[in-house]
């Protein structure tokens, strides 16, 4: 198991690197100022953290009420992931439209780009993080 502070480091580094990459590459691709896209990245990051806590809390309440916290199947986890991403996509879409003052189609494409970027980024980041900061060996019992 990772320690609390290791999880804090993991989250902070993840967000700082992601926001930096989104700001620089997003600004370049979109032809917008880095500060504008960086601020959008910060808003999307905050949205993701708040939505993660809220969605999982509501999901757990639903699970307790309707399934009595029965073991979660692969199908339930797929549904959980799809619903989470759908909510994130919808809320992110509204933020993108508002912040960048762009049309719905452009915002959908940008939001999809964010989703694809974060899918790949999270995979690569965690692979590298595990190499740079390996988990501590289990303590002998």
pTM: 0.84
Inside any domain, residue 110 = yes
Inside any domain, residue 45 = yes
Helices (H), the chain: 4-30, 34-67, 74-100, 104-132
Q: Which domain holds residue 12?
A: 4-132
Question: Using CA atoms, how far apart are residues 131 and 122, in angstroms rounded to an integer?
Answer: 14
Question: Using CA atoms, how far apart are residues 90 and 110, in angstroms rounded to an integer?
Answer: 12
Tens of pLDDT, residues 18-45: 999 999 999 999 999 999 999 999 999 9
Q: What's the angle, vertex CA 42, arms to CA 129 and CA 3, rounded to 5? A: 35
Inside any domain, residue 67 = yes
Tens of pLDDT, residues 60-102: 999 999 999 899 999 999 999 999 999 999 999 999 999 999 9
Inside any domain, residue 138 = no
The domain tally of the chain equals: 1
DSSP 133: S
């Amino acid at each position: 198991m990772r320690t609390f502070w290791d999880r804090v480091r993991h989250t902070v580094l993840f967000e700082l690197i992601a926001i930096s990459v989104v700001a620089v590459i997003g600004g370049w691709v979109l032809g917008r100022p880095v500060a504008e896209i960086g601020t959008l990245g910060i808003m999307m990051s905050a949205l993701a953290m708040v939505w993660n806590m809220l969605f999982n809390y509501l999901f757990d309440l639903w699970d307790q009420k309707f399934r009595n916290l029965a073991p979660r199947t692969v199908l339930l986890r797929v549904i959980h992931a799809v619903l989470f991403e759908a909510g994130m996509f919808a809320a992110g879409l509204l933020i993108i439209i508002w912040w960048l003052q762009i049309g719905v189609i452009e915002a959908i494409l940008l939001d999809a780009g964010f989703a694809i970027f974060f899918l790949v980024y999270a995979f690569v980041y965690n692979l590298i993080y595990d190499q740079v900061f390996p988990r501590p060996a289990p303590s002998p019992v």
